[in-house]
């Protein structure tokens, strides 16, 4: 099996590249989606995240990603703490999805924080998607993020290569 990492900064166009690779026959695993799943109520990371960050991040019993983001993007240590909970669970979930693929398959893991999580060594190839910062900011505004949120999230990621 060929293992490819697809990475790039927030708003760079990773999802579009992932869709194209999927149309060409690759199995694409979206690590952001897995990160959401591993902290849903009843999932492996749910209690761990609540224990680490308190129930103020809950909304109707579910982890409110906006509330959690407001906490973790203010302090690097808290972000690292969340990543230490989520990254191993995401890796495990991705490996489970890949386990039964045929040997000739092309597996693409879409991983925004590949460099930050020191994950590149697990892949045969790494594709980095980049875009001009202002284009990325405009894309993120269209997703409903405020300028300060965009700045916080961009600052939390390694700069484009």
What pLDDT band is residue 155 in, cutting at 50, 70 and 90? confident
Total domain count, the chain: 1
CATH number of the domain bearing residue 35: 3.40.50.300
Q: Which of 6, 142, 149 is nearest to 65 (CA)?
A: 149
Q: Which of 72, 94, 70, 93 is nearest to 82 (CA)?
A: 72
Question: What was the pLDDT predicted at 114?
Answer: 85
Query: Could you tell me if residue 160 is inside a domain?
Result: no
Domain that holds residue 90: 2-155
Query: Could you tell me if residue 13 is inside a domain?
Result: yes
3-state secondary structure of 12: coil
Q: What is the pLDDT of residues 68-113, one digit of tens each?
A: 999 998 888 999 999 999 999 999 999 999 998 998 999 999 998 7
């Amino acid at each position: 099996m060929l293992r490819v990492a697809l990475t790039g900064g927030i708003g760079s166009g990773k999802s579009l590249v992932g869709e194209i690779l999927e149309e060409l026959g690759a199995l694409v695993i979206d690590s952001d989606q897995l990160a959401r799943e591993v902290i849903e109520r009843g999932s492996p990371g749910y209690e761990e995240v609540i224990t680490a960050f308190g129930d103020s991040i809950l909304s109707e019993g579910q982890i409110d990603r906006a509330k959690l983001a407001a906490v973790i993007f203010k302090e690097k240590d808290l972000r690292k703490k969340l990543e230490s909970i989520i990254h191993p669970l995401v890796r495990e979930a991705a490996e489970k999805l890949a386990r039964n693929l045929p040997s000739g398959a092309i597996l693409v893991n879409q991983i925004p924080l590949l460099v930050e999580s020191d994950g590149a060594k697990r892949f045969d190839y790494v594709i980095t998607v980049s875009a001009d910062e202002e284009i990325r900011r405009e894309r993120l505004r269209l997703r409903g993020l405020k300028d300060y949120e965009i700045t916080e999230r961009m600052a939390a990621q390694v700069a484009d290569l």
